[in-house]
Amino acid sequence: MANTPTLNLEAAFAQMEKLARNREHSTDRSSPGMPSQASHVQRNFANQIPSANDDGGQCLCGHHHLGIYLRTLGNRSEYSICPVCDPQARCEDCQGTGQLRSFNLLTLRDEIIPGACSCRTGRKRADLLNRAQLPRRYQLASFEKLRIEHLGQNQNLVTKLSDCRDRVMGFCESAVPFLSGHEAAPDKIFLTLLGPVGTGKTLMGCAGLKWLVEETGCSARFVDFLFLLGQLRETYSQNSSEEKILKPLRDADVLLIDELGKGRAEKAWQMEKLDDLLNSRYNEGRITILTTNYLPPEAAYDPVRAGFRSAPANESFWEQSLPERIGARMYDRIVESSVFVDFIGLPSFRRATAEAFLQRHKAETTKGF
């Protein structure tokens, strides 16, 4: 469990107020050197910390008080600490060393613990996010960035999607006291996101995972169900142990299993391993986020509501239910311990953007004729 010191909201506000005061008293030294783009970077309250900094650089993280941003290095990207917002540089507790001094009652001496100062919190959480192995296209997922352009003017759909977001946020908020070690596990420790492909389940799940890591410093892992099945198959054919794969998934404070039920386990033992994984997470009281296209037997997709004329071909989730895919045992466990959020009835973002692209393309190619 994470017990890194938290940069709490009060401390952040106090720091902000202090910096704002300092800025009022100092002459405006930083503005001539500021890049012009800075004016249309959206400013909210939190990123006034960096702009008040005398270093004059431009903030990269945009909004977060921990200063975490996604740094792109060639074809790969990783979470890092915004050089402008890094609180370590101006930390008064450690003079920027990151060390924590504490008095040891046994040796009766001051002890120096490297990297333990609370100004290192953001850096540690950025590392935890890197270890979560989020797929690249979900690395920027966040509750603040709700994509609604594909919903057109349909206010019902916008309301529905923000409702889904709020419920995912609500679940995550309810898990914070537990993940911070202050309270016992909440009643429901699984969050199951149901709905058709492309409606934003994975995006919301990843936003939740990221938010929990940033808020609490918990460890987290993302894993794709189909990919996991493939990995299990591989260890079996190589005669090696699947423990290497399963242990980190059992132990992560927060685990997201994406596309549960997609692709079928060829052997019963594969499904048993996944069953054990979920059981262990349930018994150990670990927060688990699941996304799936398959629905409970009592629910069904309405093709017309989902924007199809009829049930699409080759989409087994229209005909098969979740328990048919993953087995009754695993299903019962999920039902017992889940908060469900359904994305049913929302249109596919990917499909809408693809259609918009095709229309634009058609318009452009017919223009010349």
Residues interacting with Zn ion, by CB under 5 A? 50, 59, 61, 82, 84-85, 91, 93-94, 117, 119, 214
For residues 162 and 120, the answer to whether their CB atoms sit within 8 Å is: no
**At residue 64, what are phi and psi to the nearest 5 degrees?**
-85, 135
Q: Provide, rounded to whole angstroms, the least separation between the CB of residue 66 and Zn ion.
A: 6
Q: Provide, rounded to whole angstroms, the least separation between the CB of residue 248 and Zn ion.
A: 25
* 197 SS3 class: coil
Q: Provide, rounded to whole angstroms, the least separation between the CB of residue 97 and Zn ion.
A: 7
- At position 125, the amino acid (one-letter code) is R
- 151 or 179: whose CB is closer to Zn ion? 179
- 84 or 249: whose CB is closer to Zn ion? 84
Nearest to 2 by CA among 128, 111, 117, 100: 128
- 93 or 275: whose CB is closer to Zn ion? 93
Contacts of residue 4, defined as CB under 8 A and 6 or more positions apart, other chains included, come to: 121, 124, 125, 217
What letter would DSSP give residue 245? H
Q: Provide, rounded to whole angstroms, the least separation between the CB of residue 287 and Zn ion.
A: 17
314: its two tokens: 């080759």
Q: Provide, rounded to whole angstroms, the least separation between the CB of residue 218 and Zn ion.
A: 13
Contacts of residue 369, defined as CB under 8 A and 6 or more positions apart, other chains included, come to: none
Nearest to 208 by CA among 341, 71, 85: 341
Pairing of strands 100-104, 109-113: antiparallel
- 82 or 265: whose CB is closer to Zn ion? 82
For residues 289 and 281, the answer to whether their CB atoms sit within 8 Å is: no
148: its two tokens: 């609604």
Nearest to 141 by CA among 224, 79, 209: 209
